[in-house]
A and B are shown apart, each in its own frame.
Chain A
Amino acid sequence: MSTPNMEVLKIFIPFIVMLIIIGFYYVLMTKNLIRILLGLEIITKAAILAIIVAGYVTNNMAMAQSLVIIIIIIEVFVIAVAAGVIIHIYKQTGSVDVRSIRNLKG
């Protein structure tokens, strides 16, 4: 016998996996640094959704919500610093292509 919570888990898991695949495929296939960040965001969203669903299924929403809040705040700083680095790379090389930063000058 499956409980209602178990049904929720069974509905959500395929979509979470799909979201992770979309993010990974995007990160692996693109060469634009901004697009890589967009892909990273998609993967993070899948992780956030997985944590919320896990909290709902185990009747522990408070813990799940506190975890999600911490993840979101760290995510913002990762994106902000990465965006700053991308702008600097653009100023240095004139491009946001990952192939333009192959030549490290030590």
Chain B
Amino acid sequence: MSLILIILIILIVTAMMVVFSSKLIIGAISLALTSIMITILMFQLNSPLAAVFELSICAGLITVIFITTISFVKPATEEELIVSRKRRLKKYIYLPVLVAIAGYLVSLAIRPLSLKLPEIIQETNVRNVLWNLRQVDLLGQAIVLLIGVFGIVVLFKEGRKK
């Protein structure tokens, strides 16, 4: 349990790093670190399949998409970076305090809570759930994938015309 607690604290620290980083690329890499922490937590909570997806897609593919997008955008000059760093500190200085207070209040509020949790272990095979129980979801997912592909094709088509 102490390992989970340490990883959760690192998770919050990496999420803070995303917010406080003045360079976008450092923000994107910090987000990948956040994903890796969530992957470790998923392994700890007996969900290896979701953990593998999280690691390969969220820490890998999404970071690549972010870095590609950042590389298309003009990098900030040194002067702009210094100005934005000062502004950023001013803007986000209250965030760690706010987060700490919110975390403390929530932990206080849920301490006396005692829910009755179900003891029945339902379907344990992910494949069965995915292909037999959640067929409608898969259909929705396929439609979303199709829309995503069309969106990307349309965006790149317009770029080619110019």
A83 and B66 contact, Cβ closer than 8 Å, known pairs A29-B91, A35-B24, A42-B34: yes
A56 and B45 contact, Cβ closer than 8 Å, known pairs A10-B110, A80-B65, A88-B158: yes
Chain A residues near B81: list those with CB within 8 A: none
Task: Say whether A52 contacts B45, CB under 8 Å.
Answer: yes
CA distance A76 to B152 in the complex (A): 12
Task: Say whether B122 contacts A38, CB under 8 Å.
Answer: no
Across the A-B interface, how many residue pairs have beta carbons closer than 8 Å?
218
CA distance A7 to B122 in the complex (A): 21
CA distance A11 to B11 in the complex (A): 14
Contact of A87 among B49, B58, B69, B129 (CB under 8 A): B69
A59 and B118 contact, Cβ closer than 8 Å, known pairs A35-B24, A38-B27, A84-B152: yes
CA distance A25 to B16 in the complex (A): 11
Chain B residues near A90: list those with CB within 8 A: 72-73
Task: Say whether A62 contacts B125, CB under 8 Å.
Answer: yes
How does the 8 Å CB contact mask read for B103-119 relative to A, with 1 for contact and 0 for none?
Answer: 11011001101110111
Task: Say whether A42 contacts B31, CB under 8 Å.
Answer: yes
Task: Say whether A72 contacts B65, CB under 8 Å.
Answer: no
Task: Say whether A26 contacts B129, CB under 8 Å.
Answer: no
CA distance A56 to B4 in the complex (A): 14
> What secondary structure prevails in chain A residues at the interface with B?
helix
> What secondary structure prevails in chain B residues at the interface with A?
helix
Q: Is residue A101 contacting chain B, with contact meaning CB distance below 8 A?
A: no
Contact of A72 among B54, B69, B98, B156 (CB under 8 A): B54
Task: Say whether B47 contacts A68, CB under 8 Å.
Answer: yes
Task: Say whether B141 contacts A74, CB under 8 Å.
Answer: yes
CA distance A64 to B43 in the complex (A): 13
Residue of A14, A25, A49 ringed by the most chain B CB atoms within 10 A: A14
A18 and B103 contact, Cβ closer than 8 Å, known pairs A59-B121, A87-B72: yes
Within 8 A of B (CB), among A1-27: 1-3, 5-15, 17-19, 21-23, 25-26
A residues in contact (CB < 8 Å) with B: 1-3, 5-15, 17-19, 21-23, 25-26, 29, 32, 34-35, 37-38, 41-42, 45, 48-49, 52-53, 55-66, 68-70, 72-81, 83-88, 90-91, 94, 96
Q: List 23 A-B contacts (CB under 8 A).
A: A8-B45, A9-B115, A10-B111, A11-B4, A11-B5, A11-B8, A13-B106, A14-B104, A15-B12, A18-B103, A22-B12, A25-B95, A38-B18, A38-B28, A45-B34, A53-B45, A59-B117, A60-B118, A60-B122, A62-B129, A70-B141, A76-B61, A77-B147
